[in-house]
Amino acid sequence: MPYGLISLHEEMHLFFTILEFYKRLYPGVKFGKEEKMLTPKETGDVIYTYAGEEVEGLAAEKMREIIGALPEYSTPAIALRKGKKLIVLDGHRRLRVAYKRGLNWKCLIIVPSKAQKFGIEDEAMGTIREMYAKPAKKR
């Protein structure tokens, strides 16, 4: 695996760490796990969250690394289910690459047992499609 890309083992550890965090943060909500292979259309519908200045500043470099590691690299993204929508928690660049390249991408999803306002919703910037669709060609 190329240096700097998160491994499946690391991502699984991160998933369960985030899951435990949500359980502590929202004690009245039970959380489950779902695994889903997202189509490019579904990836475009994922709500993108602000990952932080430093992370966003390195996005292009990280995406080049991901593209260079394809097709072997397939570490899943992590998302939170909010009704029928998914909110990305980790794997922002992986999902952007999958969307732009038209790839299916696996996603580990934290599924709450009931409706709840989550703090991460305040970091929503729009869907991946809204933010990163290719601009229409000018004639």
CATH code of 121's domain:
3.90.1530
Report if residue 92 sits inside a domain: yes
What is the torsional sign of CA 70, 71, 72, 75?
Answer: positive
- Position 138 in a domain: no
Q: Determine, yes or no, domain membership for 136.
A: no
Q: How many domains does the chain have?
A: 1
| E-state strands within the chain | 31-38, 47-49, 77-82, 85-90, 105-112, 124-127
pLDDT of residue 2: 55
Is residue 137, in this structure, part of any structural domain at all? no
pLDDT at 25: 96
- Residue 56: is its pLDDT beyond 90? no
Residue 131 — pLDDT band, cuts 50, 70, 90?
very high
What pLDDT is recorded for position 136? 53
The H or E element that residue 101 is part of is: helix 92-101
pTM as predicted? 0.91
C-alpha closest to that of 13 among 74, 76, 59: 76
Domain assignment of residue 75, given as a range: 8-131
* Residue 138: predicted pLDDT: 54
